Structure 1
Amino acid sequence: MNISNYYNPQFLIKLSKICLIIFAFFFVSCNKTKTDEQTTNFTAFKFYNTSLPIQERVSDLINQMTLTEKVSQMRYDAPAISRLGVPAYNWWNECLHGVARAGEATVFPQGIGMGATWNTSLIFEMGTAVSDEARAKHHKFISEDKRGIYQGLTFWTPNINIFRDPRWGRGQETYGEDPYLTSRIGVNYIKGLQGDDSKYLKVVATAKHFAVHSGPEKSRHQDNYQTSNKDLFETYLPAFEAAVKEAKVHSVMCAYNRFRDQACCGSNLLLQKILRDDWSFEGYVVSDCWAINDFWEPEKHELVKTPAEASALAVSRGTDLNCGDCYDPNLKEAVLKKMVDEEKIDLALTRLMTARFKLGMFDPEKDVKWSKIPYNVVASQKHYDLSEKIAKESIVLLKNQNNTLPLGKNIKSIAVIGPNANSKQALLGNYHGTPKKYNTPLYAIKEKLPNATINYALGSDIAIGWPMLNTIPSAVLKNGEKNGLKGEYFRNKNWEGIPEVIKNDTIVDFIWTLKRPLENLKTDEFSVKWTGQLVPNESGKYRIGLKASSAGKLYFNNELKFDFKDDHEPKTKYFDIALKAGEAHDIRIEYYNYHSDPQAQFVWAKMDQDLLTPALEAAKKSEVVVLCLGLSPDIEGEEMPVLLEGFDKGDRSDITLPKTQIELMKKVYALGKPTILVLMNGSALAVNWAADNVPAIIEAWYPGEFGGNALADILFGDYNPAGRLPITFYKSVKDLPDFKNYSMKNRTYKYFKGDPLFPFGHGLSYTNFTYSKLNIPDTISINNNLNIKVEVKNTGLVDGDEVVQLYISHKQQEDAAIRTLVGFERIHLKAGETKTISFSISPKQYALINNEGVNVLNTGSLNVSVGGKQPGFKGVADTTTSNVLIKDVTLIN
């Protein structure tokens, strides 16, 4: 080669191009080889071979992992293992009564309302609908490469704890106080959720909180409960046993509290002996969130001294998955220090990965039956209709003196009054999704009576010191010359850099469901900064707050008022302040979003307003008054900071209506107008005065997004109510044992010796049902089924549902329950129609449970009652639209 060419510009250019081509070829080849090697390596692993048994695939995957990787997969927010092709997965999802916290979804009635339907097949149908929406949402998230919280297929539902005390704020999540009713509703919901495919789980359901767990909320991280074996096996465990043995629930969540000195998430008795040895549970156990931290943190259980010891204890006792931050990295330290064997880590991981494989997460989507559910099932008309049907079936007619209900549709004016008359939260309860529309009682009554005058008034706050917060209107927000606040939108969660969008937002009231505030947003992470001024037009004391589904900060006059921590729960924070009319105050709101249900509302309320006078004026102008009172999930619920008269950190210290509402009710009633009381709440209320005075009372619970429609149909006779109480309504908190006492003595319908206001199983109808021809043998041999038949006739003038209830009593046994529900069936009867209902009661159902927790069959008399209610009640506590037949059966050897 001529060396002079090195000085030739044309030659140098040509040589550079050749070198560039060669370099590019090698770069592409190397990267292609690397990619091919990765792909080949992934598919070469046995765990990718769909023809192999899941057990073999799981074993192969775990064998590829380092100890660090294993530990990382035992936290709820498990990261990806890129070298193995294992994607990130967040185990935390909720569907208590519809898919929750994942954007738009159908909102069904709260758990306590599900229990009030006494309709197992309907709840199975609901579970199917909810899991349809869950699968559709999950696959949409995956298609967008979103794998965060509330986007997976492992749901921490249902709550099948026993609602043993009406003070418990989370009782609204349960199906009531009875183990048998709870088990029947729970089993059917689980089956609907998990599906019927022989290979793939539709979703994973989680039975919680295992076990002996139902408040108080404020001390759940310290409490150590004791029970007799009789109470344990008769009351607290049956619903869990049914979930495991019948519904094959694939996950169980252990509770925060201790039971018999051991933390529930570190209990050999609960997690090993009962759950795995006795019941043969094969799924995985997940801790309640940050419950493992309670093992060692000061002023909690303090069972051990370090996070590593806590992690070792939990895993060695059978808690496989940690909702929290304790396992990673502390489990690695625990293994290296020989606090726990690595085989225990492998066992836990085997259970966890088996669930992911059974959900089809390592298989082609086309092979997974459930991946084909279209997204249009989400918030579909079919699911809306089902939600409304369940709401109708859940509503209980408690009292109907002189047939006050149903109302005629020729009413020209009606007053709709009360803090829950137009409350969105009173529809939703806790752990809810985001509905498209909120069909409140006020909205639905307006729709039902388009030609009538509807006189609405708030009437009172929900409780003293708890006003209803509403969106701050544009008129009092200032952004320079404009009304509203300046909104700066960022494509990150830290308000960093130049905002993607700057605009004037007239109000801050955002629920971003399908559409995000920024175009082509690839993740759920974004942030917004709102700035401007608040200029009130009236002087007074105000409560100012921010509702947010994620996290952020609120500054008032450049002072940080509160900082939302990233605690994975939707929340509302507020402060109280005196403001002067016309005085400007600087506002800065910093909101950031990290999950699939972004919401932000800037809200306020004027304190100490006269709400009563407008309500009385509305009532005076109307022919009929519908009073919508009750509670709110803002003040009864899970471990809340709320301290109000009658309320205590999410629980209740009194069970009456709040004083503000009692005053409203009495003054409206005194006007002499026909008055209907509608209760919307998650727990029993001692409405004694109303029971004595108000002619009609309806219990509507937290009825879901179509609760108003369901209520309006019942008020005006388009639906005949047939809900039945799944809990006892007591007359006073004085009737109750100490809240922390977990003995069942004098608790629930089974052991309460006083006079309830409304008993378990109570509910009226617009028609009448008569029972006859009870067919029960006089004697049966122990260990044989007890077969029962009875005829039920609708003797009224309208079609309706009846809930046939079967109770047994061992009256000769001193420590036996007063009576025990062992069978029920909800049936529909046309006017004049008769049906024969059959029950077959197994020996296990009619056996006694002794002090050792063992089923015992004794000879003697067994009292059987069949009817639309419990027997033996009088006055307002009696269900006058049904009757009961009773017979004694002799048990012989």
Structure 2
Amino acid sequence: MNRTICMRLLLCGLMGAATHFSHAQDTLPYLNTGLPLNVRIDDLVSRMTLEEKISQMTHTSKGIPHLGIPDYNWWNECLHGVARSTEKVTVFPQPIGLAATFNPEELFKSAGMIADEGRAVYNASVKKGNTLQRYTGLTFWTPNVNIFRDPRWGRGHETYGEDPYLTSEMGIAMVKGLQGDDPRYLKVSACAKHFAVHSGPEPQRHTFNATASEHDLYETYLPAFYRLVKEAKVSGVMCAYNRFNGQPCCGSNLFLRKVLLHDWQFDGYVTSDCWAITDFLYGHKTHPDSISASADAVLHGTDLECGDVYRSLGKAVEAGLITEDQIDISLRKLLKIRFRLGMFDPPSQVPYANIPQSVLECRPHQEQALKIARQSMVLLKNDRNLLPLSHKYRKIALIGPNAYNETTQLGNYNGIPSNNVTLLEALQQEKGIEVVYDAVSDFTRLNKDADLEHLADRYKDVDLIIYAGGISPLLEGEEGDAGGAEGFIGGDRTTIQLPAVQTEVMKRLSRLNKPMVFVCMSGSAIACNWESENIPAIIQAWYGGQAAGMALADILFGRYNPSGKLPVTFYRSDADLPPFEDYSMSNRTYRYFKGDVLYPFGYGLSYTSFKYSKLQCPQEMQIGDSLTVSVEVKNTGKRTGEDVVQLYLSHKAIAPEAPICQLVRFQKVALQPGEQKTVVFKLSTHDLAYVDDCGNTNTAPGTVTVYAGNVCPSAPERFTSRILSSPVKLKGETKCFFY
């Protein structure tokens, strides 16, 4: 190789990004953009020493200047906006709030904006030469499509809720929005996590062994991952910390070899969760040393380690535990991602390489953050039509720990925006409104100067009380990042009850007999039984992002008609929940829970009313045919509004092990007063299938019940009085599906 070529390649490595090497391309196939991708990757791999190969298999991958491989850090996050960047970025609602929109189209749009901002941050980092720094890269470990099976799990607010179908639809929208639609290049690389049976307990995640039946595995825990791999073409998958059936998930024969590689033919890369390979040694204690742990993880299909155990791979080769050719398999997958991100091509050929910093927090992104925050919020109660507020409420007492709390509304794995508007700040901007504010307590304890006995006396002259409470991502979240107060441990919750101090404050304020609104910010279901019985209006606001305060004000004063729906079941009591460590789906979520609930999955009120009618579907059909279902929905109120038309199936008449009901389609519709629309859903044979006790997916003869409405049909009757249903008889021979 001549000196000119070497100098050009060295410059590429030092700059952290490939530039146009016209002379080098004549000599080096891996820099020739006209060659097939696999040919380019094979050529680059052939030029690397074993030590250089191993150096590219951890999240901190130092550059190899003589080959033009730039410094790169794989670790980045963007659950609801570019996370933890030094740049100011747009922060959208936490994923559980995004799920409450039941609007994949708006999530897709938001994800595209997040990807633009991620590219802008990366492009700036390339110019600064700091691409080895964490949270600067283009490989985003998003989305989290674990099933939120238990409200006590602290990381549940990173997910899209308890339902596999809703989780799949929102996850697909997120992945497609992030990765873009260019046939050659990824805008950014998305990653489905945590594969696959992973949802707490957080304090035990490094040692915990999850178990689940074949039925629950294939009906609940795997479908979202399958659809992200097959339909969204997600480019990465992250394996989980815990074990499943005795094997660490990052060394699992079942998950990585059989399901992901063999059955699903996944062609992207697999990364470990951070320091999950270290857990092989000190947590699960399944391996005696780092040499055997590193070899076993790679052989099972964990291509990249977030951590440093893979530094022992060289010794593993020397010991005969793994060959260099086997290491090359993982290395090729990792290099493929980097090639698809354009890191070895001239910027002029990469459509995303010049996205400017001006996209960060640009006006359209801020407007989208407000729009989707509005759609995320769920009106749970509105007695006597207290909301929207009229102009007669001139003096408002704003009380509670989340009334003026910038940290809460930003959620976790968040970026920092320039403008983060709290509810207090939003109300202070309302014309003709006087706001009196006092937190009174934090989430679990009274403030030192709080006088609970005389609290009500201070607010005798107000017209309305808004209590903004709930919990915080500092209490529920990832192990090590959250927890510690009474009712919380290691990121998880020990109770689903609203902290008692908040209920007591509201009880004292209720003595005034003033109209009261309870705004609950949380990432999980809250058992607020007293509030549901005694406070006339309740809004579930989640962690709404930078525009949470503005969105709430728009809803409170009627500038936006609430349309959010619950993506999780709100239970009444801890006694309703099975043991947290039990991964069986029995008596969990709307699909299997048989008791009474506070608020059901799919529920959410509006300032207008909707009527469903004319559910139409055939009375019988042949297995193998598609099923067309239509239903009419009419806005029977006086305000423009949106509703989520939800379609459910029940296979209980065919298979006793099947859920009570299962969401299979939904569509958000906007209707003017008096307007009526016919919503049509088409279901394939696979959509009409159920999972049997052995984990097989079948469509079998018998009767399937179709339900349509705006809440799950397994809810108590007081919620489902307007649900429509129709039986459909399936005829023919059983049809099996494999995935």
Range class of TM-score, shorter chain = over 0.9
Alpha-carbon offset, residue 276 of structure 1: 1.3
Secondary structure at the aligned position of 2:729 is classed as strand
The one-letter amino acid paired with 1:385 is E
Q: Is 1:677 aligned with 2:518? A: yes
Alpha-carbon offset, residue 879 of structure 1: 7.0
Q: Is 1:58 aligned with 2:77? A: no
Structure 1 window deviating more from structure 2 (736-745 vs 807-816): it is: 807-816
The equivalent position to 2:363 in structure 1, one of 352, 375, 381, is: 381
Secondary structure at the aligned position of 1:460 is classed as coil
- In the alignment, the residues of structure 2 paired with residue 235 and residue 178 of structure 1 have an alpha-carbon distance, to the nearest angstrom, of 8
- In the alignment, the residues of structure 1 paired with residue 309 and residue 650 of structure 2 have an alpha-carbon distance, to the nearest angstrom, of 48
Pair 1:50–1:731, CA change in 2 (3 A): same
Secondary structure at the aligned position of 1:634 is classed as coil
Structure 1 window deviating more from structure 2 (408-417 vs 278-287): it is: 408-417
- In the alignment, the residues of structure 2 paired with residue 156 and residue 357 of structure 1 have an alpha-carbon distance, to the nearest angstrom, of 18
Q: Is contact 1:42–1:84 with CA below 8 Å preserved after alignment?
A: no
Q: Is 1:194 aligned with 2:179? A: yes
Map 1:87-102 to 2 at 5 A. Answer: 87-102=70-85
Partner of 2:705: 863
Q: Is 1:619 aligned with 2:602? A: no
TM-score normalised by length of structure 2: 0.95
Alpha-carbon offset, residue 78 of structure 1: 0.3
The equivalent position to 2:475 in structure 1, one of 629, 635, 639, is: 635
Pair 1:321–1:614, CA change in 2 (3 A): farther
Partner of 2:686: 844
The equivalent position to 1:406 in structure 2, one of 381, 385, 388, is: 388
Pair 1:886–1:446, CA change in 2 (3 A): same
Pair 1:224–1:874, CA change in 2 (3 A): closer
Q: Is contact 1:458–1:615 with CA below 8 Å preserved after alignment?
A: no
Q: Is contact 1:457–1:618 with CA below 8 Å preserved after alignment?
A: no
Partner of 1:350: 332
Partner of 1:267: 252
The equivalent position to 1:706 in structure 2, one of 542, 547, 552, is: 547
Q: Is 1:104 aligned with 2:88? A: yes
Alpha-carbon offset, residue 268 of structure 1: 1.4
- In the alignment, the residues of structure 2 paired with residue 91 and residue 76 of structure 1 have an alpha-carbon distance, to the nearest angstrom, of 5
- In the alignment, the residues of structure 1 paired with residue 108 and residue 194 of structure 2 have an alpha-carbon distance, to the nearest angstrom, of 21
Q: Is contact 2:147–2:162 with CA below 8 Å preserved after alignment?
A: yes
- In the alignment, the residues of structure 2 paired with residue 809 and residue 38 of structure 1 have an alpha-carbon distance, to the nearest angstrom, of 62
Map 1:431-470 to 2 at 5 A. Answer: 431-448=413-430, 450-464=431-445
Alpha-carbon offset, residue 811 of structure 1: 2.8
Secondary structure at the aligned position of 2:42 is classed as helix
Partner of 2:275: 290
Pair 1:392–1:879, CA change in 2 (3 A): farther
- In the alignment, the residues of structure 1 paired with residue 598 and residue 548 of structure 2 have an alpha-carbon distance, to the nearest angstrom, of 25
Q: Percent identity?
A: 49
Secondary structure at the aligned position of 1:772 is classed as strand
Q: Is 1:129 aligned with 2:113? A: yes
Secondary structure at the aligned position of 2:370 is classed as helix
Partner of 2:621: 780
The equivalent position to 2:286 in structure 1, one of 303, 311, 319, is: 303
Q: Is 1:892 aligned with 2:737? A: no
Q: Is 1:829 aligned with 2:671? A: yes
The one-letter amino acid paired with 1:735 is D
The equivalent position to 2:344 in structure 1, one of 349, 362, 379, is: 362
Partner of 1:509: none
Partner of 2:314: 332
- In the alignment, the residues of structure 1 paired with residue 639 and residue 496 of structure 2 have an alpha-carbon distance, to the nearest angstrom, of 35
The equivalent position to 1:73 in structure 2, one of 46, 53, 56, is: 56
Secondary structure at the aligned position of 2:708 is classed as strand
Pair 1:403–1:38, CA change in 2 (3 A): closer
How large is the RMSD of aligned CA atoms in angstroms?
1.7
Q: Is 1:818 aligned with 2:684? A: no
Aligned length: 716
- In the alignment, the residues of structure 2 paired with residue 257 and residue 856 of structure 1 have an alpha-carbon distance, to the nearest angstrom, of 30
Structure 1 window deviating more from structure 2 (371-380 vs 241-250): it is: 371-380
Q: Is contact 2:9–2:65 with CA below 8 Å preserved after alignment?
A: no
The equivalent position to 1:801 in structure 2, one of 617, 630, 642, is: 642
Partner of 2:528: 687
Secondary structure at the aligned position of 1:609 is classed as coil
The one-letter amino acid paired with 1:831 is P
Residue by residue over 1:152-192, the C-alpha shift from the partner in whole angstroms, topping out at 9 and shown as x without a partner, is: 10000000000000000000000000000000000011000
The one-letter amino acid paired with 1:303 is T
Pair 1:227–1:34, CA change in 2 (3 A): closer
- In the alignment, the residues of structure 2 paired with residue 849 and residue 774 of structure 1 have an alpha-carbon distance, to the nearest angstrom, of 26
Map 1:153-302 to 2 at 5 A. Answer: 153-297=138-282, 300-302=283-285
Alpha-carbon offset, residue 872 of structure 1: 6.1
- In the alignment, the residues of structure 2 paired with residue 117 and residue 656 of structure 1 have an alpha-carbon distance, to the nearest angstrom, of 24
Q: Is contact 1:91–1:154 with CA below 8 Å preserved after alignment?
A: yes
Pair 1:34–1:793, CA change in 2 (3 A): closer
Pair 1:738–1:37, CA change in 2 (3 A): closer
Secondary structure at the aligned position of 1:798 is classed as coil
Q: Is contact 2:660–2:714 with CA below 8 Å preserved after alignment?
A: no
The equivalent position to 1:321 in structure 2, one of 304, 325, 347, is: 304
Structure 1 window deviating more from structure 2 (286-295 vs 132-141): it is: 132-141
Q: Is contact 2:590–2:712 with CA below 8 Å preserved after alignment?
A: no
Q: Is contact 2:9–2:66 with CA below 8 Å preserved after alignment?
A: no
Secondary structure at the aligned position of 2:380 is classed as strand
Map 1:379-528 to 2 at 5 A. Answer: 379-448=361-430, 450-464=431-445
Q: Is contact 1:460–1:611 with CA below 8 Å preserved after alignment?
A: no
Q: Is contact 1:688–1:757 with CA below 8 Å preserved after alignment?
A: yes
Alpha-carbon offset, residue 213 of structure 1: 0.2
Alpha-carbon offset, residue 335 of structure 1: 0.8
The one-letter amino acid paired with 2:145 is I
Alpha-carbon offset, residue 611 of structure 1: 5.8
Pair 1:873–1:711, CA change in 2 (3 A): same
- In the alignment, the residues of structure 1 paired with residue 55 and residue 451 of structure 2 have an alpha-carbon distance, to the nearest angstrom, of 55
Larger Rg: 1 or 2?
1
Alpha-carbon offset, residue 377 of structure 1: 1.1
- In the alignment, the residues of structure 2 paired with residue 403 and residue 33 of structure 1 have an alpha-carbon distance, to the nearest angstrom, of 74
Pair 1:59–1:839, CA change in 2 (3 A): same
The equivalent position to 2:487 in structure 1, one of 627, 632, 646, is: 646
Pair 1:307–1:872, CA change in 2 (3 A): closer
- In the alignment, the residues of structure 1 paired with residue 6 and residue 652 of structure 2 have an alpha-carbon distance, to the nearest angstrom, of 78
Residue by residue over 1:736-788, the C-alpha shift from the partner in whole angstroms, topping out at 9 and shown as x without a partner, is: 11101000000000000111110000100110111112111111111211110
- In the alignment, the residues of structure 2 paired with residue 421 and residue 621 of structure 1 have an alpha-carbon distance, to the nearest angstrom, of 20
Partner of 1:508: none
The one-letter amino acid paired with 1:849 is V
Residue by residue over 1:269-301, the C-alpha shift from the partner in whole angstroms, topping out at 9 and shown as x without a partner, is: 10111111111110000000000000011xx10
Partner of 1:502: none
The equivalent position to 1:771 in structure 2, one of 584, 605, 612, is: 612
Residue by residue over 1:715-740, the C-alpha shift from the partner in whole angstroms, topping out at 9 and shown as x without a partner, is: 11111001000000001111111101
Alpha-carbon offset, residue 400 of structure 1: 0.8
Alpha-carbon offset, residue 33 of structure 1: 9.8
Alpha-carbon offset, residue 643 of structure 1: 2.7
Partner of 1:581: none
Alpha-carbon offset, residue 140 of structure 1: 1.4
Secondary structure at the aligned position of 1:353 is classed as helix
- In the alignment, the residues of structure 1 paired with residue 561 and residue 594 of structure 2 have an alpha-carbon distance, to the nearest angstrom, of 32
- In the alignment, the residues of structure 1 paired with residue 3 and residue 324 of structure 2 have an alpha-carbon distance, to the nearest angstrom, of 37
